[in-house]
Every structure is written in C-alpha cells, then in structure tokens.
Amino acid sequence: MNAIEKLQEVVARRHEYAKEWKNRTNGKVIGWFCTYSPVEIMYAAGMLPVRILGSHEVQDVTDRYLFPTLCPFSRDALAQGLKGRYDYLDVLTYARTCVHIQGTFECWRINIPTPFFHYVWFPNHVDSSQAMPCLVAEFVDFIQTLEKATGKSISQGALDRAIDLYNRNRRLMKQIYDLRKGENPPITGAECMEMVVASQLMGVEEHNKLLEELLEELPNRDLGRETGLRLMMIGSEMDDIVFVRMLEELGCTVVIDEHCTGSRYFWDEVLPEENRLAAIAKRYLDRWQCPAVAESFKNRFDRIIKHALDWNVQGALIYQQKFCDPHEFDTPHLQKMFKEHDIPTLTLEFDVTIPFGQFRTRIEAFLEMAGLEVF
C-alpha cells in the first residue's frame, strides 16, 4: 500500500482509526469543530485531535435540535454525534467563529454525553490590540481543562515539540502543493484533499511520515490522464471527496484550493516566541482568514489571486454551504476579481447531499465555455 492509499484508508476508516489509536496508546481523543481550534495545544496534552466532520448522508435526526436554515455541514456534523459515531471522544472543543457551528456545539453539549467540553472564545476583531491577550487567556483556560481531562500537566517542552511537529506537517503539505504548479501535476485535487483531511484525523507524527513517503513517490508518478482545465476551488467547509473526483473526471484538475479542508487550514506556521501560547495565538490571529472572522477583503483576496496566478489557474469553482452568509458575501467580490484577471468562474451551492446529475451538467457547460473539450 502506497502513501496515498494509506491516507485514503485513514479518511475512510476515521472512527476505527481513532478507536485503535486510543486502545494502542491508552490516550485521550479530543474532537474539534473549527480550524481555529489550536491543535498544537491538544497534541501537547498527549491527545489525538480529531476534526468533527459529516457523512454526506441524508438524515432527519437533527430537525428537532437545529433550524433547517443552519448550514448543511453543521447539521450533518451534529447528526454524527446523535448517531453515536463519536462515542469515543473524551473532550469536545470549539473555537468560536461561526454561529452555525456554535449551535451544533451547544446542542452536542446538551444532548450527547461527553466527559469534557471546552468553548474557546475566539476574538471577534482579530486586528484589535486586545485580541492577543484575550486569546492567550483563553488558551490558559483551555490548558486547564485538558490537564483535568488527562490528569497530566502540559509542559513548555511538550508545547515546543507540538509546534515543531505541526510546523513540519505544514511545510511538507506545502511542498506537495508546490508540485501541482507543474504542467502535469503528479497528484489530483481529490488526493490532495484526502491528504489534508487525513491530517485533521490522525496523529501528526504518523501523518508526517506518510507525507515524507509521498514526497519520495510523487516525482516519478504519472497520473496517466490529461490535466485539462487547471481549476481553483474556493469556499466554505468542503470534504466531499466523491464530488471532487467526479469534478476531475470531467476534464479538469484541481491544482490549488482555498478552504478549511485545504490550504486555508495549514498554510501558516507558528513563529517562535518566548511565550509559546502567544506564538500559537499569533498564528491563529494572523493565519489565512476565514470570511467568518475576516476584517478586510484585501488581505484575504490578495492571497487568493496570488495563488491563482502562481498555480496558473484557468478557472475557479466558487462554492458555499447553503445558508453560509459569510462565504455568500464573498461571491460577488471573488467573481469580480477573477473577471479582472480573465479567469472564468462557476458558482455552486452545496447541501448535505449533492445533486450529481445537475452539477455534472453545469460543470460540463462551464468547461465548454472555457473552450476545453469534455471527455
């Protein structure tokens, strides 16, 4: 089994992986909702950080708990808890950024037994002079909860090791992303998404080893397919790998992305500071921003268009989870920006399940509009 297949297996068997890790290490597992949750602190506590994701299955178990106008991802994630699929969690945490996920977290806290919960209040104004001390104080409280849950203290050495391992993880994934700049990328967009999703589900040391294996394999790898349209994917939470596979089967390759199961999650590192919690806080305050906390279009959009140009993008897929207002507000500005750079765009709205037939037709029309042959 090669590195890509190992990563795919972790994604497909995410719950089994977490349970096996727990049995093997006698450690604790912590679930987290938003990519503003500080995984470095969780790892320093000796825990396995596992992102709470949906299953993309039709369900009706959340109707009595959440309004149907909350985003599909929020409702799908809560359904997994209500169905008992995360019954192995020892702690559940959430860094406040999105009111929809906040509703999911609060419903989980009330209705799904879990030994420990911790709500990290993330600052509303990330550029404020008070944001840093506020977030550092929140991290101190978070550490106290994790120490209580594990019965162990979190040392400065443990924080240093966690920072080093996650920084290495980010650098390795960026190296793999850089390989997609070439004329014939050796890895598909779907495979890259599986790589990033796996990083949110498995131990960082094990993931680093798989990334090192992958970097050895990729230079000699031939996908045996035409690259077609070089596509950028931009939008809200997106981990529907089946959709991305379908997308690429129609005559394109996702060469770069900007979403929280892609580059937005891992792109920025923790820079060294004497105060480790301040260093971690600065990373999350300054990182590639989600529209839910972005205070300026300019910083976010400048980074998006730079990536589009660096990866020689020929088209952009702008998508959003249904009812996701922050990302919906982005759409007209993104369309205008890409138009100014002669990059055509396609906009799609996602629900828990995807109308593949309808989307397939729209994607084929988009490729034809771009002057490419659909195959």
- Note whether 111 and 210 are same-domain residues: no
Tell me, yes or no, whether 344 and 198 share the same domain. Answer: yes
Residue 375 lies in a domain: no
> In Å, how far are 51, 59, 72, 149, 297 from 62, measured between CA atoms?
19, 8, 10, 28, 34
Instruction: Say whether both 167 and 130 belong to one domain.
Output: no
275 C-beta neighbours (distance < 10 Å), count: 12
Q: Which residue range(s) make up the domain with 23?
A: 3-154
From residue 260, alpha-carbon distances to 36, 61, 130, 272 in Å are: 10, 26, 26, 24
User: What CATH number does residue 321 fall under?
Assistant: 3.40.50.11900
In a domain, 39, yes or no: yes
Phi, psi of 169 (to 5 degrees): -55, -45
Query: Is 275 inside a domain boundary?
Result: yes
Domain count, the chain: 2
In the beta sheet, which residues pair with residue 95? 120
Alpha helix (H) residue ranges in 112-155 = 131-150
For residues 221 and 315, state if they share a domain: yes
Q: For residue 375, what pLDDT is reported?
A: 37
Among residues 103, 123, 154, which one ends one of the domains?
154
State residue 297's pLDDT score: 65
Q: Domain check: are 187 and 150 in the same one?
A: no
Same domain as 249, residue 304: yes
Closest CA to 150 of 277, 35, 22, 38: 22
Residues 97 and 222 in one domain: no
- Minimal CA–CA distance to 222: which of 178, 263, 179? 179
pLDDT tens digits along 215-252: 999 998 989 899 999 999 999 888 889 999 999 999 89
From the number of C-beta atoms within 10 Å of its C-beta (0-12, 13-18, 19+), residue 330 rates as buried
Answer yes or no: is 374 within a domain: no
Q: Which of 134, 154, 174 is the last residue of a domain?
A: 154
Query: Same structural domain for residues 199 and 309?
Result: yes
Residue 30 belongs to a domain: yes
| Segments of the chain with pLDDT less than 70 | 295-298, 352-356, 371-375
> Does 13 map to a domain?
yes
Rounded Cα–Cα distance for residues 103 and 319 (Å): 22
**Tokens 């981990």, located at residue:** 239
Q: What is the pLDDT of residue 296?
A: 65
The pTM for the full model equals 0.94
Handedness of CA 134, 137, 143, 145 (dihedral sign): negative
Domain presence at residue 163: yes
Distances (CA, A) of 8 to 15, 193, 197, 210: 13, 10, 9, 11
Task: Tell me, yes or no, whether 162 and 97 share the same domain.
Answer: no
Q: At what angle do helices 356-369 and 241-249 cross, to 10 degrees?
A: 40
If asked whether residues 104 and 217 sit together in one domain, one would say no
- For residue 371, the model assigns a pLDDT of 60
